[in-house]
Amino acid sequence: MGGAISGTVFDYENALAPFTVTVVTGGSSGIGKAFISLLAEANPRMAVCNLSRQAPEGLPPEVRARLLHVPCDLGKPELRQKAAGEAIGFIRQHHNRSKILLINNSGFGSYGYFSAAELEPQLDMVQVNVAAPIELTAHLLPEMREHGGAVINVASLAGFQPTPYMATYGASKAFVLHWSLALHEELRRHGIPVQALCPGPTATAFFRRAGFHQRVVDDGFSLTAEAVVRASVRGLAHGCPLVVPGWRNKILATLSGGLPRALAARLSALVLARYRLKQLAQQQGASA
């Protein structure tokens, strides 16, 4: 486990030492699972409560022993509330007076034209990407104000500009980005930092769930989930409210954030349409 994500372990140990309990959503794979692995490696006292449909697999026994998995469909408000209650009960029973690290990671996207036929998945996306972070943060905030804590909200590079063909996803991540930065200012006087983590293309199952059957971004332009998590924890150690992992992504975020919104939407449409054409060409080549 250490060889994959250790890096400069001492820095991670210092950054995570104040926290002995973490609540993470979507920890079954990708960035969420990478968070669990790094937290457990850097802080042997860390206990983790994971809220997701499936439990993470392949974790070492010593990590599983400190992990509580709460099965939850975050798209269902009644199930979210129940899961939040279980997380709070876990904290109060076993880790009372601990500083809490909340990682709102769960989210998904889809690709295609917006239409009434796809309305239900779009509304579910808003529930998972937007409503779930709001609700879970609201439930855990009283515990954080009493004992201390921090919040990491996983937004996206897509939140810096409109994203045609992924309109709802991009808008949901723009909400998470701006909400996180505003919340950081509100909670500054309580000593509770809030980070908006905005990864670009990452080697996870995101594109497959969004409808892409082939890789749409070259390896040179994507980061691993572990690299994204390392950047996030470094940002947490320095109190950064905004973390964009990768120098290419930082440039893109700066450029797209400075463009007129209508022009940014037009350019984004051209880029995303090109990805779709690339996917169709790959599918036709495979079937030939």
Q: Which of 75, 55, 205 is nearest to 128 (CA)?
A: 75
Q: Summarize pLDDT for 140-153 with one digit per residue, the tens.
A: 999 999 999 999 99
DSSP 73: -
- What ranges make up the beta strands (E) of 216-287? 242-243
Label residue 226 by pLDDT band (50, 70, 90).
very high
Q: Summarize pLDDT for 24-34 with one digit per residue, the tens.
A: 999 999 999 99
CA 22 to chain centre: 14
Q: Which of 203, 207, 42 is nearest to 111 (CA)?
A: 207
Mean pLDDT value across the chain: 87
Whole-number Å distance between alpha carbons of 169 and 110: 7
Using alpha carbons, list the distances in angstroms from residue 108 to 113, 114, 125, 231, 253.
16, 16, 7, 21, 20
Tokens of 199: 């990864």
Whole-number Å distance between alpha carbons of 33 and 38: 9
Q: Which of 138, 137, 139 is nearest to 154 (CA)?
A: 137
**What is the phi/psi pair of residue 246, to 5°?**
95, 130
pTM of the model: 0.88
3-class DSSP state of 82 = helix
Q: Can you give the pLDDT at residue 208?
A: 53
Q: Can you give the pLDDT at residue 286?
A: 46
Whole-number Å distance between alpha carbons of 68 and 52: 11
Neighbours of 3 (CB within 10 A): 5
Q: Which of 73, 74, 7, 71 is nearest to 34 (CA)?
A: 7
